[in-house]
Amino acid sequence: MKTIKLVVTLATPLRKKYGAPGLARIDKAIRSVSTKDAARKVTTIYLHLDDATAMRKYRAVPVTGRPTSAKCKNAIDDLFAALSPDYLVLLGTGDVLPFFFVPNPSFEAGGDGDSDELVPTDNPYASSKPFKKKRIESYLVPDRVVGRIPDLPGATDPAALLEYLAATRSWKLRPPTEFQDDYLVCCDSWKTSGAACVSYLSRPSNRLLISPPTTRTTPGPASKRYAAKFHMIKCHGAQIDASFYGQKGNRYPDVLSAADLRKKTTTGTVVGAMCCYGGAVFDPNDPAAVSPGEQPIPTTYLRQGGYGYFGSTTIAWVGADDMQCADWVVSAALKAVMNGASLGRALLESKQGFVQWIQQQGNVPDIAEEKTLLQYHLLGDPSIHLVPMAHAPATAQPPAVARRARRAHAHTTAAQLCADLPERLVVSRKGKRIAIAAAGAKTLAQPHRPTDKAAGTAFAALRRTISVQLRGFVFGSPLVHAVRRRIEQPELRAARASGVAPAKRRTSGAMASTASYEYYYSARKKTKRVIDARMIKVETDERGRLIRTRVLASS
């Protein structure tokens, strides 16, 4: 049984950016990687999705005309049907092989909170289901191992891509001791949850740098740790900005920039960033760039031999006082890597594990958690392993067999997790009631009128008890979602229940339906660069009784 790595790209946009000689250099570099992969017993298949002759060999429909994400996914799905690869590599950034742009579940019109109307994502490529934009369950929970090796948008020289390929083609497993040294940094405002992330990663709490006082200009331990191979960054990021920022109150000092990292990082580094836009790769010469000519932080890591970078394409949600959303996805991916998972499998297991954990608590992913699942992606080769697998059994299966078994399990897990997702309807936005359309009512029965009293009381209590985190934020009326889910009760059967008096039986069948309301209060401070927003979630049952609350911060 072969282990297959499928590398796909589009020749036409690469040729347009770099000319025929540039494309030839990229093709040659991939062939070199393929030779090294063969020594690791991995068969690498490299295809241009717009090459009709090459695609015809696999009975796959090539991409023709203007390339779109939907066309690319259809072509990739055809290749999966023919090859069943273990790893999928998307070669090139969004102006080569396009991202999907899907609706942002936590979008709040008016700029009071999350202003990202759309989320650039690779999740549909990582899902075996056909993509349906209006059906989030078709792409929310991935089941394929995927990574994207980016070039630079707008570039005319493929150096960024070629340097990464050159640095990683000869990767080999390293002892875990090589990753004991680390660079861990967090905003002062979130140091409690930052410490929780460090503890989850089984690292000493005194390794966490706090910003401020740690800044770009602070002499001391920060710059000495850039050469460490394990990086976790829980700070603010900003759009088209090559810097990350700390926070204390209304101060947002620069804590790290791409310029700081030049000639400082080490081959084999893995990075997890909980920062807003932390995984966005942009054109350094964009007129809107904060530091004109300065390449993005992810690109800097990858060009200097970083093996993998977990980051967000848009505004990310984190916990201020406890781990939330991006904290869990990034930390779990980093932990999986250190337990011997490949970079791509680490992110896949992190996302699936996050949804599984939410559902095990009897909950469902809310709008911030859904966005987190969509926006985080791996920049790098998903087949790379940093360390040997921890606790591998003495009678382990051959690697290819084990990979295929894990793929089957991931597929089954994703299908079950998606089957348990709820139905949602927006019933109020900015204080305005929204009538549930007849079409929506067919799939989601009209719930009782929401009772706002409990939500308002809980919101007021949260503002009082965590006044430090919410000081300076002015909240308006909430976004309200009606949420209905069906819960299987396999031990109850309709035939048996039919013989019991209705007043005494719990259900008339094996399925129970539950309804709740989620109230989202959002606010944002006026800042120069970073997005400093808060979201308070209050959940009640359909009668207005309080279920749970939480507070999120934008990073």
Report the relative pairing of strands 4-9 and 43-48 from DSSP bridges: parallel
pLDDT band at 487; cut points 50, 70, 90: confident
pLDDT band at 398; cut points 50, 70, 90: confident
Q: Please give the pLDDT value at position 287.
A: 95
Cα 348 from Cα 346, distance rounded (Å): 6
308 in any annotated domain? yes
**Same-domain status, 251 and 362:** yes
Q: Please give the pLDDT value at position 441.
A: 40
The residues pairing with 533 across neighbouring beta strands, listed in sequence order, are: 524
More confident site: 186 or 424: 186
Q: Please give the pLDDT value at position 486.
A: 78
More confident site: 220 or 274: 274
Domain that holds residue 198: 157-163+171-388
**Same-domain status, 427 and 296:** no
**Same-domain status, 446 and 493:** yes
**Same-domain status, 182 and 296:** yes
The residues pairing with 522 across neighbouring beta strands, listed in sequence order, are: 535
Q: Poorest-confidence range of 165-174, 440-449, 461-470?
A: 440-449
**Same-domain status, 372 and 482:** no
pLDDT band at 268; cut points 50, 70, 90: very high
**Same-domain status, 383 and 433:** no
Cα 272 from Cα 234, distance rounded (Å): 9
Residue-wise DSSP of 458-487: HHHHHHHHTHHHHTT----SPEEEEEEEEE
The C-alpha angle 348, 353, 354, rounded to 5 degrees, equals 105
Q: What is the CA radius of gyration of the chain?
A: 24
pLDDT band at 497; cut points 50, 70, 90: low
Give the 3-state secondary structure of residue 497.
helix
More confident site: 405 or 60: 60
Which residue carries 């309804």 as its tokens? 515
* 92 has pLDDT over 90: yes
User: Are 246 and 215 a contacting pair, CB within 8 Å?
Assistant: yes
* pTM, rounded to two decimals: 0.93
Cis bond leading into 212, ω under 30°?
yes
* 443 has pLDDT over 50: no
Cα 359 from Cα 66, distance rounded (Å): 40
264 in any annotated domain? yes
381 in any annotated domain? yes
Rounded to the nearest 10 degrees, the angle between the axes of helix 343-360 and helix 367-375 is: 170
Query: What average pLDDT does this structure show over 69-88?
Result: 98
Q: Please give the pLDDT value at position 342.
A: 97
Per-residue pLDDT tens digits for 299-329: 999 999 999 999 999 999 999 999 999 999 9
Per-residue pLDDT tens digits for 322-359: 999 999 999 999 999 999 999 999 999 999 999 999 99
pLDDT band at 19; cut points 50, 70, 90: very high
Highest mean pLDDT (candidates 224-228, 351-355, 506-510): 351-355
More confident site: 435 or 225: 225
Residue-wise DSSP of 211-265: ETT--TT--SHHHHTTT-SEEEEESEE-TT-SEEE--BTTB--EEEEHHHHTTT-
The residues pairing with 243 across neighbouring beta strands, listed in sequence order, are: 257
Nearest alpha-carbon partner for 168 in 20, 29, 333:
29
- Amino acid making up residue 440: G
* 431 has pLDDT over 70: no
313 in any annotated domain? yes
80 in any annotated domain? no
Per-residue pLDDT tens digits for 279-298: 999 999 999 999 999 999 99
Report residue 364 as tokens: 């469902």
Which residue carries 């934008």 as its tokens? 554
* 13 has pLDDT over 90: yes
Count of domains observed in the chain = 2
Of 388, 408, 436, which closes a domain? 388
Of 365, 388, 411, which closes a domain? 388
Q: Please give the pLDDT value at position 389.
A: 87
| Cβ neighbour number for residue 392 with a 10 Å cutoff | 10
**Same-domain status, 211 and 332:** yes
470 in any annotated domain? yes
pLDDT band at 1; cut points 50, 70, 90: confident
Percent of the chain topping pLDDT 70: 90
102 in any annotated domain? no
**Same-domain status, 376 and 465:** no
Cα 396 from Cα 259, distance rounded (Å): 45
Mean pLDDT of the chain: 91
**Same-domain status, 221 and 293:** yes
Query: What average pLDDT does this structure show over 243-260?
Result: 96
Query: What average pLDDT does this structure show over 435-452?
Result: 46
Query: What average pLDDT does this structure show over 76-83?
Result: 98
Question: What CATH number does residue 333 fall under?
Answer: 3.40.50.1460
Q: Please give the pLDDT value at position 392.
A: 60
**Same-domain status, 289 and 366:** yes
**Same-domain status, 179 and 293:** yes
197 in any annotated domain? yes
Q: Poorest-confidence range of 405-419, 447-461, 529-543?
A: 447-461
**Same-domain status, 365 and 306:** yes
